[in-house]
A and B are shown apart, each in its own frame.
Chain A
């Protein structure tokens, strides 16, 4: 059972470079989310999607873009990476039912030099 898969697991970028993180889920979930985790800050929501073709901003969306062209995939893009975007990024999915839990990927550690 794959669940939620994130690629890549690790990446080092230079300031100004761009990259895309891919999240794939095989549970036919409607909702998908991107979070970042920083020491002492817990998890903060970047963007989320309530269905194929839809996206919405979360708590900290600046500097990121997302796309949900296929139901099973949710992409997070950094157009011009900054050191402040050094973080661990988690993708999660949810069935869309109010009481449902989040299922998380293993995380992607991004370092921007």
Chain B
């Protein structure tokens, strides 16, 4: 079935370091792909998305490219800040019922 596998954490980085969180997916069709972020004590909010192959989603300095050939949607940021400390979820959605499938989440802590 459809699923998402993402890099396990936790990840701890120093401020201004480069961030990569790996995400790969399995899907029978052509899913839309998403990255959600969850700050402490809050619900999930959309960070970025891509709806077709080779699309690049970007927001707040984060980027991810929909790679059909490697079934991947890795999240990257060139220079992280303390305020980026959160849990990041990769997700995909398919058509019928618009069901969403989430990865297990990757906790990121950025230290000054």
Contacts and interface: CB of A to CB of B under 8 A. Distances in A.
A74 interface: no
Contact of B98 (A35, A40, A58, A96): A96
A90 B44 contact: yes
B104 A101 contact: no
A73 B44 CA distance: 19
Contacts of B51: 99
Size category of the B interface is 20 to 34
Nearest to B46: A101
Given A50-B98, A90-B43, A104-B43, A98 B103 contact: no
Contact of A43 (B34, B42, B45, B102): B102
Nearest to B30: A98
Interface of B: 32, 34, 36, 42-46, 49, 51, 89, 91, 93-95, 97-100, 102-105
